[in-house]
Amino acid sequence: MKQKGRCLKECPDLLTPEEIKLGLRTKIFGQQLQCYKTIDSTNEEAKRVALAGAGEGMVIIAERQERGKGRLGREWHSPPELGLWFSLVLRPQIKPAHVSQLTFVSAVAVCKALRKLTDFPVLLKWPNDLLCMDKKICGILTELSAEADRINYLVIGIGLNVNQEEQDFPPVIKDTAISLAMVTGHLWQRAEILCHILYEFEKEYLSYLSKGFSQTLLQWRELNITLGKEVIVSTKEETYTGIAEDINEHGCLLVRKNTGEVVTLWAGDVSLKPKAF
Ligand code: BT5
């Protein structure tokens, strides 16, 4: 029996519009699609096409990114033909202040898609990481163009490690990164995974637009690894430890510092404090 998404020797792992469209079950997401062999960053290209008028649901995908990026200009390692590096153009009619909610909508959607595909307990780490076996398997980068009171467009970039082996990661992330193949012990067909993700993402997005953020939050709370844990918080200004108590309706993390003060965290890096033995 063919396992979902499993890569068989006789079927090459192609990431072409034809291959992707074969498995697409969405109405909007990915119906317009541009595939590149090499690009600077799919987020950058998505912003360019959005500026030129690309409609909601346009997907930009590349085999390889020369300048794949994370938050704060950090590098996203995007080697050729081993991962899914793609970006989606969205034009939601929501307040610009609510834009970070979309990062959570996409994280929940990708997490659900991967859990359905692999049966592995993929977990969410605030604000934009997906972890498997305590290592990062996927990162999400949301970028926004807005006026004071309305969104022009939003780009959500998703980087998912799929078929890398340990030696494919550079030394700097070798101990903290993992791929689907490393977790499951076999290679995957990226086009099929992409179709699953786009399907879950569209469902989650439409449900968010009609029902609001509260049900995303409920799901995020169920799938996350951050809440209730002792965490180390690093922001531009300071580093401190505390307990991650909850997230609020904007997706901010509420951290109780050891002094008792509760901090509302809009951005920053959070790592789980290792337990002392
Ligand atoms: C993120 O940033 O996790 C967001 C990554 C988004 C990448 C996608 S790929 C498609 C689209 N186009 C782009 O140019 N970007 C998006 P952040 O939380 O800042 O994490 C970045 C950190 O993750 C780096 O500093 C490394 O430590 C680590 N890292 C880099 N590449 C990685 C990889 N392939 N797997 C796991 N960790 C990685």
How do residues 173-200 score in pLDDT, each as one tens digit?
Answer: 999 999 999 999 999 999 999 999 999 9
The amino acid occupying position 100 is: S
CB 38 within 8 A of CB 81: no
d(CA 77, ligand 1 centre) in Å: 7
The amino acid occupying position 134 is: D
Taking the mean position of all CA atoms in its chain, how far away is CA 131?
11
Evaluate if residue 41 carries a pLDDT over 80: yes
CB atoms within 10 A of CB 9: 6
Among left, alpha and beta (phi > 0; psi -120 to 50; other), residue 164 is beta
The crossing angle, in degrees rounded to 10, of helices 190-211 and 100-118 is 130
The domain ranges of the chain are 17-223, 230-272
Q: Any idea which fold 17-223 has?
A: BirA Bifunctional Protein; domain 2 (3.30.930)
Does the C-beta of 174 come closer than 6 Å to ligand 1? Answer: no
Q: What's the pLDDT at 166?
A: 96
d(CA 123, ligand 1 centre) in Å: 16
Backbone angles phi, psi at 217, to 5 degrees: -60, -45
Q: What's the pLDDT at 10?
A: 56
Q: What's the pLDDT at 9?
A: 52
Evaluate if residue 89 carries a pLDDT over 80: yes
Mutate to test the pocket of ligand 1, among 76, 78, 141 (most ligand atoms within 8 A of CB): 76
* Structure tokens belonging to residue 72: 């704060």
Residues in the chain: 277
Q: Which of 166, 127, 131 is nearest to 250 (CA)?
A: 127
Q: Between β-strands 239-247 and 230-234, what pairing exists: parallel, antiparallel or unpaired? A: antiparallel
Does the C-beta of 159 come closer than 6 Å to ligand 1? Answer: yes
Evaluate if residue 37 carries a pLDDT over 90: yes
pLDDT digits (tens, 9 = 90+) for 115-143: 999 989 999 999 999 999 999 999 999 99
Atom of ligand 1 nearest to the CA of 43: 12
pLDDT band at 273 (very low <50, low <70, confident <90, very high): confident
Q: What percent of the chain has pLDDT over 90?
A: 87
d(CA 257, CA 148): 33
* Contacts of residue 118, Cβ cutoff 8 Å, sequence gap at least 6: 180, 183, 184
Q: What's the pLDDT at 6?
A: 65
Model pTM score: 0.95
Q: What's the pLDDT at 1?
A: 37
Evaluate if residue 7 carries a pLDDT over 70: no
pLDDT digits (tens, 9 = 90+) for 251-265: 999 999 989 999 999
Q: Do domains 17-223 and 230-272 have the same CATH topology?
A: no
Does the C-beta of 68 come closer than 6 Å to ligand 1? Answer: yes
d(CA 164, CA 167): 8
Domain 230-272: assigned CATH number: 2.30.30.100
Residue whose CA is closest, atom 17 of ligand 1?
70
Residue whose CA is closest, atom 2 of ligand 1?
70
d(CA 126, CA 113): 18
d(CA 69, ligand 1 centre) in Å: 6
Answer with the residue of higher pLDDT: 8 or 173.
173
Task: Please compute the mean of the pLDDT values over residues 192-221 and round it to a whole number.
Answer: 97
d(CA 182, CA 12): 19
